[in-house]
Every structure is written in structure tokens, then in C-alpha cells.
């Protein structure tokens, strides 16, 4: 600190690594007022296209290319059928279900950050809740593609809905796949309403400050006549609190129902009671990892270090570490009960998972999901954003490997050795998966460009709290 003070007195520029991060212990950097917050966040939306960060332009272009790859893969799927995928008997569930569960898991962090942390009054969520809510919607959109594409006749997906029909061919209500339809659609609907209601004050701010007439008209229509009156704020706060209360149980219920796709079966490796909490923890784990994967580059590209401070990144890292320990408990429970149950099929399944043809993937997921995140115990690691970003990517890879292990290793060697088989994804499996990643990223890039990725009015509230806290501290 003496070196820094001397440098300030002598107007000497220190290397960046010697300058402490101003956001190490605060949610919002000092020096902001209501106007600067609005200008700072809305300025990203108003930024001329020619001034967009080059990395944003390159990322959006690459994402668009992958979307075209997705369109090609879907076209071939519709014209040739699911034979272009690597599905077989006994592995009738392949990449489609693996990626469905993975995407639904990623969509959990948004609702957790927005609803549960809002109810718990955690101020560090302010700078990332809007972004994570959008991420939830885009992840659910990607997840919803796979069950439909997995159908033999995807153009008849509406048969899953219990619509009135003369032949009384209603869906099977005892099927977990039918439960998925209602769980995911409810989750997506509530998340969309929750996200849009939270946007209304900010859309009104964009309407009032937009530089062009077209932008003012578009944002004015989207703001639904918001004037910021006392009655508007009163109704908004009641509606937002109600939606947060509705969304909170959805965090637990949606992935619990997704886990029932496996847990209600009699297949070794699936028929276990640990799956509901284990799946929920894994979903939150991968969701927070994706939030950090996306928010850290965004923070650097648009120079938002004063709004997304180090305290927010550190708090998200700690929560991710804690949920990761719950996931580790789930792995340990699976191994323990496979041994303790005395069931030879269950024991064989778990031994095959560790040492069989897909054993290397099991140990790789242990490295990604359990061992690597333990680095986050160190504060130095949590304050090194490059390391945190790398760990978050590793966790996303590990959570995908976990879904692969759950689906494939329980299916490829079942009760009858005569029906054993291997699953190898084809290039169209991989193309469809990579295409949905491109679709997800393109939506993220467009969201950042056209809508405020940080909640303007909630950051203003933080400014208000900071301004009113200073006299108390000075008096003390």
C-alpha cells in the first residue's frame, strides 16, 4: 500500500497487476450516481455497430455459422430420420437426451439468482441477475429442441399435449416424458414472465433516453406504458415478489421431474432415490458455471468492472463450490449404495462405469467436477478471473460428461449380455449439439446488444443504499 500511495503522490503509473481490484469487497464501485448508472448500462445498447468490440463481432459471426450448421443437421434429420444419429438398441437414448438434461441444468442458475437470492436479499446478485435470466430462457429453448427432434415424427409433437380429439388418443399421463412437457413448459413460461416484468422499468429508461426515434418507439411499445409512478412501483413490487415465490419451487421441481425420466425405471444406475436432489444440485452447479463462463468475458469486453465487481464473481464462485460438494456427495452415495445394496446388477453397473469401455470418461468427469473446483477454496484463485473462467468451462465439460455417463453406461450393458452394445455419436449428433451451442451464443450476443444486460433500476437502488450508508459510517 505504501508503494501505491507514493506512486499516486508522484503521478507514477503502476503496472496493472500491482493495482488492487476496487471491487474486491463492494457490489458497486464508488463514484456512480443515478445518471451515470443509466448512461453506463444503456450505453452498451446505444453503441454504434461500427464501435462494437471486435471480439463481439467475431463471436456473433461464429455463432451464426453454427446456427446454419444446426439448420442443416435438422433438415437432414427431417428428411432421412433418426438413422443419421448413432442411436441403436439397447442405447435408444443418445445425444438428444444427454443434451436435453444438460441444457435444462444450465437454465437453473437464472431462476436461482433471480428468485431465491432475491428472496434472501443478496445484494451481489444485482449485476448478474438480468443476464442469468436471459441465459435461462435461451438454455430452455435449446433444451426444448432435443425431445422434439428425438421423436420419430417431430412434426406431430403436439400429440404430447392433452388436447381434445375425437379418437381420444390422449398422452400417457403416467409417462415421465409427459411430465417433462408440463414441467419444462411451466418453467419456461414463468421464467419468461419473470424476466419481462423485471425489464419493464429498464425498457422505460431506454424509451426516455434512446437517441433515435425508432428506438424510442420500439422500447416505448415494449415498456407497456410504464411511467414510474408510485402505483406502478407498488404493483411491480407485488408482482415481482409473487413471481419470485412461484419461481422458487420450480428450481427444485423441474430438474426433479427430469430426474424421474431415469429414477422411476428399473434399470441399474437409474433406479435410485438420490437422483432428484442430485440432479437439482448438478443443474445449479452447471448453471453457475455457465454464468461465470459468459459474464467474465462480457465484463472485460464492455469494461464493466465497476458494475460487475470482484465480490460478485467471488460470491458466485463460492456458491458454485458449495453446490459442487453436494454433487460430490451424490457421486459418493451412488458408489456406496451400489456396494451396500448387494445387488449384483447395480454393482456390475458401477464397476463397469469406472473400468469399462467408457471408464476414461468417468474419471475425466471426476477430474472436472470434483478435483479441479477444489482450487476455489483459495481466495487468490477466486480473485484470478482467468483461472475462475477456466474452471467454469471445465465444470461445464464435466457436467456434460456426467449426463453421458448416466445415460449411456446404464444402457449399453443391461441385464442380458446378448443385448450389450456400444454407442458412438455420428457427425450429425455432434453437429446438432454444436448447432444448439451456436444458437444459444447468438441469442446471448443479440441480447447484450439490444437490451440492458444489467438491471438499471436495481443498480440505482444499490447507489441509493450506498449514498445513505455513507453518513452513518462517517458519524460512526
CATH of the domain at 125: 1.20.1630.10
| Cα(293)–Cα(81) distance, integer angstroms | 35
- Residue 142: what pLDDT? 93
- Residue 363: what pLDDT? 94
| Cα(248)–Cα(252) distance, integer angstroms | 7
User: Which distant-in-sequence residues (6+ apart) come within 8 Å of 115 by Cβ?
Assistant: 194, 243, 244, 245, 247, 248, 251
Whether the per-residue pLDDT at 23 is higher than 60: the answer is no
| Cα(32)–Cα(463) distance, integer angstroms | 7
In a domain, 56, yes or no: yes
pLDDT tens-place string over residues 419-428: 888 999 999 9
In a domain, 21, yes or no: no
In a domain, 77, yes or no: yes
Cell 459468459: give the residue.
294
| Cα(465)–Cα(459) distance, integer angstroms | 10
Instruction: For residues 226-255, give the mean pLDDT.
Output: 88
pLDDT tens-place string over residues 186-217: 888 888 998 999 899 989 888 888 888 888 89
Count of domains for the chain = 1
- Residue 467: what pLDDT? 62
Which of the four pLDDT bands, split at 50, 70 and 90, describes residue 17? very low
Pick from 147, 467, 120, 459: nearest CA to 315:
120
| Cα(443)–Cα(354) distance, integer angstroms | 38
CB 42 within 8 A of CB 302: no
At 282, list the grid cell. Answer: 448438478
- Residue 293: what pLDDT? 92
Which of the four pLDDT bands, split at 50, 70 and 90, describes residue 25? low
| Cα(135)–Cα(194) distance, integer angstroms | 13
In a domain, 16, yes or no: no
Instruction: For residues 408-435, give the mean pLDDT.
Output: 90
In a domain, 240, yes or no: yes
- Residue 12: what pLDDT? 53
pLDDT tens-place string over residues 294-336: 989 888 888 888 788 888 888 889 999 999 999 999 999 989 9
Measured CA to CA in angstroms, residue 132 lies from 128, 270, 279 at distances of 6, 30, 19
What DSSP assignment string belongs to 211-232? Answer: SSHHHHHHHHHHTTT----HHH
- Residue 434: what pLDDT? 94
- Residue 51: what pLDDT? 76
- Does the N-terminal peptide bond of residue 214 adopt cis geometry, omega within 30 degrees of 0? no
Instruction: For residues 427-432, give the mean pLDDT.
Output: 94
> Cα angle at 54 between 52 and 59, to 5 degrees?
100
- Residue 468: what pLDDT? 61
Whether the per-residue pLDDT at 20 is higher than 60: the answer is no
| Cα(205)–Cα(227) distance, integer angstroms | 10
Instruction: For residues 347-370, give the mean pLDDT.
Output: 92
In a domain, 465, yes or no: yes
Pick from 225, 282, 222: nearest CA to 252:
282
Which of the four pLDDT bands, split at 50, 70 and 90, describes residue 401? very high
What percent of the chain is helix, strand and coil (3-state, nearest 5)? Answer: 75, 0, 25
In a domain, 49, yes or no: yes
Which has more pLDDT, 166 or 7?
A: 166
CA trace torsion 290, 292, 295, 298 (10° rounding): -100
Which of the four pLDDT bands, split at 50, 70 and 90, describes residue 15? very low
- Residue 413: what pLDDT? 87
Whether the per-residue pLDDT at 379 is higher than 60: the answer is yes
Instruction: For residues 349-362, give the mean pLDDT.
Output: 91
Whether the per-residue pLDDT at 470 is higher than 90: the answer is no
The secondary structure of residue 84, as a DSSP letter, is G
Average pLDDT score over the chain: 84
| Cα(153)–Cα(151) distance, integer angstroms | 5
Residue 365's φ and ψ, nearest 5 degrees, are: -70, -30
Q: Which domain holds residue 175?
A: 44-160+171-475
Q: Report the helix count and the strand count for the chain, using DSSP H and E.
A: 18, 0
| Cα(40)–Cα(45) distance, integer angstroms | 10
CB 367 within 8 A of CB 398: yes
pLDDT tens-place string over residues 124-156: 888 888 888 899 999 999 998 998 888 878 888
Which of the four pLDDT bands, split at 50, 70 and 90, describes residue 46? confident
| Cα(97)–Cα(124) distance, integer angstroms | 34
- Residue 31: what pLDDT? 65
| Cα(105)–Cα(100) distance, integer angstroms | 9
pLDDT tens-place string over residues 62-116: 999 999 999 999 999 999 988 899 998 888 888 999 999 999 989 887 787 888 8
In a domain, 1, yes or no: no
Whether the per-residue pLDDT at 384 is higher than 70: the answer is yes
Amino acid at each position: 500500500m505504501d508503494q501505491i500511495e507514493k506512486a499516486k503522490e508522484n503521478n507514477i503509473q503502476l503496472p496493472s497487476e500491482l493495482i488492487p481490484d476496487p471491487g474486491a469487497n463492494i457490489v458497486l464501485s464508488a463514484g456512480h450516481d443515478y445518471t451515470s448508472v443509466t448512461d453506463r448500462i444503456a450505453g452498451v445498447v446505444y453503441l454504434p455497430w461500427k464501435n462494437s468490440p471486435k471480439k463481439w463481432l467475431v463471436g456473433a459471426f461464429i455463432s451464426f455459422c453454427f446456427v446454419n450448421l444446426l439448420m442443416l443437421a435438422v433438415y437432414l434429420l427431417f428428411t432421412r430420420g433418426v438413422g443419421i444419429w448413432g442411436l441403436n438398441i439397447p442405447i435408444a437414448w443418445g445425444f438428444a437426451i444427454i443434451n436435453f438434461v444438460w441444457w435444462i441444468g444450465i437454465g437453473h442458475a437464472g431462476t436461482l439468482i433471480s428468485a431465491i437470492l432475491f428472496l434472501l436479499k443478496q445484494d451481489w446478485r444485482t449485476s448478474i441477475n438480468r443476464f442469468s435470466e436471459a441465459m435461462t430462457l435461451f438454455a430452455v429453448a435449446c433444451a426444448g429442441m432435443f425431445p422434439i427432434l428425438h421423436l420419430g415424427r417431430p412434426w406431430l409433437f403436439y400429440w404430447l399435449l392433452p388436447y381434445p380429439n375425437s379418437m381420444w388418443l390422449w398422452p400417457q399421463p403416467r409417462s415421465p416424458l409427459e411430465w417433462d412437457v408440463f414441467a419444462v413448459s411451466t418453467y419456461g413460461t414463468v421464467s419468461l414472465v419473470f424476466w419481462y416484468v423485471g425489464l419493464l422499468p429498464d425498457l422505460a429508461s431506454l424509451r426516455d433516453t434512446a437517441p433515435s426515434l425508432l428506438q424510442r418507439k420500439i422500447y416505448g411499445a415494449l415498456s407497456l406504458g410504464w411511467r414510474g409512478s408510485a402505483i406502478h412501483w407498488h404493483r411491480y413490487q407485488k408482482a415481482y415478489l409473487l413471481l419470485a415465490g412461484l419461481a422458487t419451487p420450480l428450481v427444485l421441481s423441474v430438474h426433479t421431474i427430469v430426474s424421474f425420466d431415469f429414477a422411476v425405471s428399473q434399470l441399474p444406475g437409474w433406479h435410485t432415490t438420490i437422483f432428484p436432489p442430485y440432479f437439482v444440485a448438478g443443474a445449479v452447479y452447471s448453471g453457475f458455471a455457465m454464468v461465470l463462463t459468459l459474464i467474465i468475458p462480457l465484463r472485460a469486453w464492455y469494461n464493466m468492472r465497476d458494475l460487475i465487481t470482484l465480490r460478485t464473481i467471488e460470491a458466485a464462485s463460492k456458491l458454485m463450490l458449495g453446490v459442487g460438494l453436494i454433487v460430490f456427495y451424490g457421486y459418493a452415495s451412488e458408489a456406496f449404495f451400489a456396494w451396500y445394496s448387494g445387488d449384483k446388477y447395480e454393482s456390475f453397473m458401477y464397476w463397469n462405469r469406472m473400468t469399462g469401455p467408457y471408464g476414461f470418461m468417468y474419471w475425466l468427469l471426476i477430474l472436472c467436477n470434483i478435483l479441479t473446483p477444489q482450487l476455489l477454496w483459495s481466495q487468490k484463485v477466486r480473485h484470478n478471473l482467468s483461472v475462475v473462467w477456466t474452471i467454469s468451462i471445465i465444470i461445464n465439460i464435466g457436467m456434460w460428461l456426467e449426463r453421458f455417463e448416466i445415460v449411456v453406461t446404464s444402457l449399453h450393458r443391461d441385464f442380458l449380455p446378448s443385448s450389450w452394445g456400444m454407442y458412438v455419436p455420428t457427425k450429425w449428433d455432434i453437429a446438432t449439439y454444436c448447432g444448439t451451442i451456436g444458437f444459444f451464443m447468438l441469442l446471448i450476443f443479440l441480447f447484450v446488444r439490444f437490451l440492458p444486460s444489467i438491471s438499471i433500476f436495481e443498480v440505482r437502488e444499490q447507489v441509493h443504499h450506498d449514498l445513505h450508508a455513507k453518513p452513518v459510517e462517517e458519524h460512526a
